[in-house]
Amino acid sequence: AQTIHQWPVAEIKAVGSPLSLGCTIKGKSSPNLYWYWQATGGTLQQLFYSITVGQVESVVQLNLSASRPKDDQFILSTEKLLLSHSGFYLCAWSLPGGLYEQYFGPGTRLTVL
Amino acid sequence: GDQVEQSPSALSLHEGTGSALRCNFTTTMRAVQWFRKNSRGSLINLFYLASGTKENGRLKSAFDSKERYSTLHIRDAQLEDSGTYFCAAESSGSWQLIFGSGTQLTVMP
């Protein structure tokens, strides 16, 4: 069975500090991977997607970057956090080869002060 | 850009009754997913449809790409059905999954 893990569970960070959020998927080879973000009271927005190692496409510009260093790992990061980065970050996966049903991780709640 | 309009934003039902949630799309979508938010804020998959209808227990969903809408029907609502439900649609020609704003469902005794 596939499992998706996100870390950390929650983070409180200062404006201007760096950030790294992680996501790993076990039990599925070469999945498509996605990052989503939801501001408090806002709609969930897709940020990035990746269909293969080393390849990441941006959907929404939020002064964030993403990388896929391994087949089963997806990293979301920034060197300088903004207040507007606060919210809930979700990682998702789907089967490779096309657009299929997406399955979501448990999420990371980020508070920027 | 492509948009997903979900309604109603809030819905109250008495136990044993039913209703429908709806998502309208401003453009042709390739497929739709319906989710329920869990206690932690993550999403539980309810349905994935590229066309037609699917049913699971007291839930039934339909997707009409041509008419640009999808529905989620709940029948015989139970207290544990309370929560927030989202639709999300795959935009044709892109890798983007676009979410609706959610429906807060409250089931009352």
- Is residue B82 helix, strand or coil? coil
Consecutive 10-residue runs of chain A (113 residues): their mean pLDDT?
A: 93 97 93 94 94 93 93 97 96 86 96 97
- Residue B13 has a pLDDT of 97
Strand locations in A8-106, DSSP E? 10-13, 19-26, 32-38, 45-52, 55-58, 65-70, 73-78, 87-94, 103-104
Closest residue on chain A to B48 (Cα): A101
- Residue A101 has a pLDDT of 92
Task: Convert the pLDDT of each residue in B2-59 to its tens digit.
Answer: 699 999 999 999 999 999 999 999 999 999 999 999 988 899 999 999 999 999 999 9
- Residue A100 has a pLDDT of 84
Residues 66-95 in B contacting A (C-alpha not used; CB under 8 Å): 86, 88, 90, 95
Phi, psi of B14 (to 5 degrees): -90, 150
Task: Convert the pLDDT of each residue in A40-63 to its tens digit.
Answer: 889 999 999 999 999 999 998 789
Residues in Cβ contact with B8 at an 8 Å cutoff, skipping those fewer than 6 apart? B21, B103
